[in-house]
Amino acid sequence: MKMKIPLASLAAALIAVTLLPACAPLLIGGAAVGGAMVASDRRTSGTQVEDSAIELKAASRVRDLASLGNVTVTSYNRTVLITGQVPLEADRTAVEQAVSRVENVRAVVNELAVAGNRSLSVRSTDTIISAKVKATFIDAKDLQSNTLKVLTERGVVYLMGIVTEREAGRATDLARSVDGVRKVVRVFEVISEEALANLLPKPAATPAPASALK
């Protein structure tokens, strides 16, 4: 199924591709902290800061272990997703162990492949796929796109976020509909609709009319 993606989204993706370094042995997922992104995120501001710290600490520990690989470390609500490629199974195990020992890590999902590093063309395609998936989420009226994190490795799309079962299914179906997506892996934290209602900001109380105060 082919989808029409806004030109602005594709342009942003292409700009990101041109900025990719020729060799990137380690990438950090990076939690957005501050301003509107904090307000729309379902994690607490403290957890967002913790996620950023986890990614930085994990990057430091992994860099020497996987110097010949291409590893991406992404933390969301203290669950760490490891993606990318390493040359040996021993490297894959060592990276997981190192990340699991980082302070405040709650769980580790190891999706590292024992394979050669992605070529520039494959990385560029993955970046465009992620941009298309994100654009699809933005266009959907029944999803809060800012609560979803998207990563793509060789056409496999990884989705992270704190979502309800309905949102998880909807996001998965939308991601699968994008051209070039081979598989969707869900790394969601699924909560109930009631729990979601408790997370959402409560509307401000309407002040009583002046006449009612007399």
What is the tens place of the pLDDT at every residue in 79-94? 999 999 999 999 999 9
Angle in degrees, 0-180, between the axes of helices 165-176 and 120-139, rounded to the nearest 10: 130
Go through the domains of the chain in sequence order and give each one's CATH number.
22-114 (3.30.300), 120-199 (3.30.1340.30)
Residue 57 vs residue 65, higher pLDDT? 57
Per-residue burial over 137-174, b if 16 or more Cβ lie within 10 Å, else e, is beeeeebbbbbbbbbbbbebbbbbbbbbeebbebbbeb
Winning range, highest mean pLDDT, from 19-28, 60-69, 160-169: 160-169
DSSP codes of every residue in 71-105:
EEEEEETTEEEEEEEESSHHHHHHHHHHHHTSTT-
Provide the pLDDT confidence category of residue 17 given band limits of 50, 70 and 90.
Answer: very low
